[in-house]
Structure 1
Amino acid sequence: MKNIKCDCGHVNPEGTVLCESCGKPIEGNQHIDGNDNKRLLNMRYDGTARRSQTYNKSIVDKIWSFFSSVKVGVWLIVIALVASAVGTIFPQEQYIPIDAVSRDPAVYYQDAYGILGQIYYQLGFHNLFSSWWFLILIALIGVSLVICSLDRFVPLYKALKKQKPQRHHSFLSRQRLFSETEEVTEEEKQKVINSLKAQRYKINEENGHVLAEKGRFSRWGPYVNHIGLIIILLAALLRSTPLFYTNEYLWVREGEQKVIPGTKSEYFIENKGFILDLYDENDDRFKAALEKQGTMVPSNFQTNAIVYKQSEDVVTGAEAQLEKVTEDEIRMNHPLEFEGYKIYQSGYQLNEVNQMTFTIQEIENEDGEPLAEFTIDVTDPKAEYELDNGFKVEINEFFPDFYLDSTGPKTETQFPRNPTFIFKLYPPNSDESETSFVGDVISAAEALGINTEAVELNPMGEVLGQFATNLDATGENEYKISIQDMDFHRVSGLSIRKDHSLPFFGVGALIFMIGVVQGMYWQHRRVWIRPTEKGLMLAAHTNKNWFGIKKEIENSIENTNIKMVDDQQELDE
């Protein structure tokens, strides 16, 4: 890098436009015809050298120069905005409905939105805001903001910090607001200075030269904005880490105790009971609305829950000891809160099958006593069951939430709402098996006298299995497996959330708004007075609101012989 020496003797770094000492144009401000009085000065960053325009040798310099470009920053923001817009066309994976036919993204998007949904999934937009490339894009925007800010803030700060009242005559004559008065008395000059002081200008005098300045802090408004945006971007990146953000969904059956996801198996939750209250259809206040709705409507559904924490004093390998943390009723808009976590009541399931009891009978003697009986816990079925009288039953296939389409039997979800089994039955002392297909839970429940009206209250939709209780797959079976009894239970759907990034978003937004106000409602105004042989030169500059500074100068020179400044904007056109 080579330095540039001004006529005043000050040595300026390469890339300087206006001499740091006297303000005389060095490069980039000379008019094409050589007459430097015919073109306004470029006062951006007060003509100081910026690193991006000075160094360009190493790879670091090239990277710095690339990210210091405002165009690069704008394009990065545009790409992020377009990607975000595309990411909201269809719901993100975390918002796939709980009652979806399949919560597998590869299946859901194609089934719900067709070919566009399939393309949307294959391009990775279903997990856009946590995808590696989107997080890198956010990080690049942050890098661009930091480098853009430093590249401009540092030289501007140095320039404004060491401003001198004594400036070269060409610096003043090529300001946008300028006038020259041939004869001015000292009293008139002092009157102008006192008037500027009264208008809250800070006066700095040197050898008869005067610099009146106010509102310098407004120049830092954009950089305060950048600090706020950088904090917001950091919060967005931190939100992608489980340390700062957790959003999980958990199904907990009545009486069941489960690990709370996202807590590293440290916390457990127990469902002490689920309560469902319905609007009274005979109440005149709700009768018309309920009739219009056509179904029973819950007025309240809540989970009475206890949260436990695993004791830290447990010996390795011993059974976990749980300590009660809190107990509360979880209702809509009334979450249970503990240790920065919030648990919301988000759904429920009234008809989930818990256990099913089956009997084995001879087909030729269906009215006789059962030959054997066995019970399956549908939440955790075994692979095979050895019965006391020599029968052995193997579960060949299990469909927790059965439905049938043209391709064969399938399951809508992994929740046991309509469990259906394909059994292999081995009679005593036989290696030959019979295949039985057992399902249609609702029909079996009705036959057993179990109330199934609650199915209509199931927010996940009705479960229907329209096929025989026992399907003889071979047509040669000797034995029949039938549903003897069922046990239903209710399940609570809970959302577990933790968000420590919100304070960062709040602080970033507050700082950003301070920068907006700082830069919008104040202006950096400067007025220079340079004495001549008998008169003076008067020039002024502001970063915005030229009308305001002209009005203040007009008030200052009132009742004096000093000429009003002319707006020389047209000279630069």
Structure 2
Amino acid sequence: MNEVKCVCGHVNPQGTILCESCGRALTEEARQANLHDMRYEGSARRSQTYNRTFIDKIWNFFSSVKVGIWLIVITLIASALGTILPQAMYIPPTADPSEYYGEHYGIFGQVYYLLGFHNLYSSWWYLLLIASIGVSLVICSLDRVIPLYRALKNQRVDRHEGFLKRQRLFNRKDIQVTDADIEKFKKGLKDKRYKIRVKDGSILAEKARFSRWGPYVNHIGLIIFLIGGMLRFVPGMYVDEVLWLRDGETRTIPGTNNEYVLENKKFTVEFYDAEKDGEVFQPALDKAGPVVKEFQSDVVLYQRDPDATLGTGDDLVKVKEHKIRLNEPLKFDDYAIYQVDFKQDEFQSMTFALTDKEEEKEIGEVTIDLFDPQDSYDLGNGYKVELIGYYPDFSGFAENGEPQTDSPNPNNPAFLFKMISPEHPDGEVSFTAIRQTVEPLGETEYKMAFKGIDTRNATALTVRKDMTLWILAVGGAIFLLGVIQGSFWMHRRIWLQRKDGEILIAGHTNKNWYGLKQDITHIISGTSIPDVIDQTDENKGKKVGIHNDRTSSNKQ
């Protein structure tokens, strides 16, 4: 990298506008300016200096604030589009996403699927957008914070006269200031908690420099937060699954790599009763109907023994028993299992009778376990029932006549039977649902008559594991720290120099110029030091503060 040596002897990186040490203007444009651009202290930024190599172009692209904003806007738009149609996790589990979206939502659904919006938040291009925002934050920060740090670290007390007179707040007077006034000026600075540096009659007072790093602390917090969000897609870092358990059922806990098993001993639910809980509840119960008072699952947690033979029943080691209630989860390792929902009287099995329609004679009964249906049921004497289609949550027929199911839970069971009899060895086909029987291949001689149903309670448990939560918390805390740091403090600097019988006074802040002007006004109160003038176009030539009359008389 080429370097630029200032007259003062300080070596600046190529592209520096104002010398990092003395503040002298190094470019013709800076020399002609009425006021210096102090946003980055006039220091060199890599993105504005180098544009030759491929790395330079990548750096310059991501260092642009506009690019970062557009990446955020595109990500927000993509996130919004992902809510138009249900994500793949919410469509029926038996449905093929490649066909489901086109069948239900037409051409828009097909395009939606092809662009990956059906599985948006784990799609490669969405994760790439999130990563690009992180890269933009890193490069934007490095492109600005490094030169800013260099400039603030290297700044001299006795800045160049051209640097001072191009500050927004500045004044110079041909006046003799006594040492007593200088000491009073220093005392005023100390009272305002300024850090003072003195060299050869020049004074630099500075405070709250740390506030300049607030935006970059924000960026660090956001980067950590994004990392935590992306880690949720790493296997084993984040689990959020729903587990339905029926009374007496034992199932592997999802997200535990088959290591843990949960048994539901019993589920109980209690409702508010006006007679037991007080008449005060009666109006609300009359309006809302039954209201749950408490529901709980009595469960047993098992862990698989890696040395035992899988599936023998001896591979489960009891860990503990627990009563899961609302806000009283079962916790183990890094997992927590919460009680979130329940279902009373869930269908468990249904019984049908193969019946001769003309004679109304029952040939035999078939009991179908709704959670483990068999392919065929032999009734003897040449009678047999085959289950050629099972739709646990029947929702109607598709355009092609195929029955549809919304979920694997038996909320509205429907069956497609083939009834084999001596008279019909090839079988007759009947579709049977609750209160509905359809004979798709024509009139049949036999039918499946509904006989009864068995029910049991079911509990819905949420299995959660979040190894990224502390990362998100740290990122959020750092971000808020940066907001506070950059919002409630202002970096303020005041320069005072005595040269050849003249007094030069200047001030700069990154925000709240009124506050800085008030500081200077109070600090010079009672001294012969002149007040500053706001040199912006709308205030040029106007003195500020309570000393206008005094400075005017001095001028006369």
Does the alignment reach a TM-score above 0.5? yes
Residue in structure 2 matched with residue 457 of structure 1 by the alignment: none
Residue in structure 2 matched with residue 456 of structure 1 by the alignment: none
Q: Structure 1 residue 255: deviation in Å?
A: 0.7
Q: Kindly indicate whether the alpha-carbon contact (under 8 Å) linking 1:436 and 1:481 is maintained by their aligned counterparts in 2.
A: no
Q: Structure 1 residue 150: deviation in Å?
A: 0.8
Q: Structure 1 residue 216: deviation in Å?
A: 1.0
RMSD (Å) for aligned C-alpha atoms: 3.5
1:570 to 1:266, Cα distance in 2 relative to 1, 3 A: same
Counterpart AA for 1:55 = Y
Q: Kindly indicate whether the alpha-carbon contact (under 8 Å) linking 2:214 and 2:485 is maintained by their aligned counterparts in 1.
A: yes
**2:349 is aligned with 1:382:** no
Residue in structure 2 matched with residue 227 of structure 1 by the alignment: 220
Give the TM-score, by structure 1 length. Answer: 0.82
1:199 to 168, 192, 197: 192
Whole-angstrom distance in 2 between the partners of 1:234 and 1:266? 28
Counterpart AA for 1:82 = I
Residue in structure 1 matched with residue 73 of structure 2 by the alignment: 78
Whole-angstrom distance in 1 between the partners of 2:327 and 2:252? 23
**2:522 is aligned with 1:527:** no
1:141 to 126, 130, 133: 133
Whole-angstrom distance in 1 between the partners of 2:385 and 2:72? 62
Give the TM-score, by structure 2 length. Answer: 0.84
Residue in structure 2 matched with residue 321 of structure 1 by the alignment: 315
Whole-angstrom distance in 1 between the partners of 2:16 and 2:103? 62
Residue in structure 1 matched with residue 545 of structure 2 by the alignment: none
Whole-angstrom distance in 1 between the partners of 2:369 and 2:497? 95
Secondary structure at 2:228's aligned position in 1?
Answer: helix
Residue in structure 2 matched with residue 39 of structure 1 by the alignment: 34
Secondary structure at 1:395's aligned position in 2?
Answer: strand
Q: Relative to structure 2, which stretch is displaced further, 233-242 or 247-256? A: 233-242
Q: Relative to structure 2, which stretch is displaced further, 145-154 or 282-291? A: 282-291
- Post-superposition Cα deviations, 1:490-547, rounded to whole Å, max 9, x if no partner, equal 2222222222322222222211111111111211111222221123322221111222
Whole-angstrom distance in 2 between the partners of 1:297 and 1:133? 45
- Post-superposition Cα deviations, 1:468-504, rounded to whole Å, max 9, x if no partner, equal 8xx6966564x66545554322222222222232222
Listed as ranges, the gaps of 5+ residues in structure 2 are 541-556
**2:286 is aligned with 1:291:** yes
Counterpart AA for 2:205 = A
Q: Relative to structure 2, which stretch is displaced further, 560-569 or 197-206? A: 197-206
Whole-angstrom distance in 2 between the partners of 1:61 and 1:239? 32
2:504 to 537, 544, 565: 537
Residue in structure 1 matched with residue 122 of structure 2 by the alignment: 130
Whole-angstrom distance in 1 between the partners of 2:111 and 2:327? 36
* Residue correspondence of structure 1 range 23-34 to structure 2 within 5 A: 23-27=23-27, 29-30=29-30
Q: Kindly indicate whether the alpha-carbon contact (under 8 Å) linking 1:102 and 1:108 is maintained by their aligned counterparts in 2.
A: no
> How many pairs were matched up?
535
1:335 to 1:181, Cα distance in 2 relative to 1, 3 A: same
* Residue correspondence of structure 1 range 306-317 to structure 2 within 5 A: 306-314=300-308
Residue in structure 2 matched with residue 54 of structure 1 by the alignment: 49
**2:147 is aligned with 1:155:** yes
Whole-angstrom distance in 1 between the partners of 2:420 and 2:297? 44
Q: Relative to structure 2, which stretch is displaced further, 77-86 or 274-283? A: 274-283
Counterpart AA for 1:223 = Y
Whole-angstrom distance in 1 between the partners of 2:57 and 2:393? 60
* Residue correspondence of structure 1 range 393-408 to structure 2 within 5 A: 393-402=385-394, 405=397, 408=401
**2:475 is aligned with 1:508:** yes
Residue in structure 1 matched with residue 170 of structure 2 by the alignment: 178
Q: Kindly indicate whether the alpha-carbon contact (under 8 Å) linking 1:400 and 1:411 is maintained by their aligned counterparts in 2.
A: no
1:527 to 1:63, Cα distance in 2 relative to 1, 3 A: same
1:556 to 502, 512, 523: 523
Listed as ranges, the gaps of 5+ residues in structure 1 are 441-463
Whole-angstrom distance in 1 between the partners of 2:230 and 2:167? 45
Whole-angstrom distance in 2 between the partners of 1:497 and 1:555? 59
Residue in structure 2 matched with residue 15 of structure 1 by the alignment: 15
1:534 to 1:437, Cα distance in 2 relative to 1, 3 A: same
1:172 to 1:281, Cα distance in 2 relative to 1, 3 A: closer
- Post-superposition Cα deviations, 1:20-59, rounded to whole Å, max 9, x if no partner, equal 232110016435xxxx4x6111112211111112222211
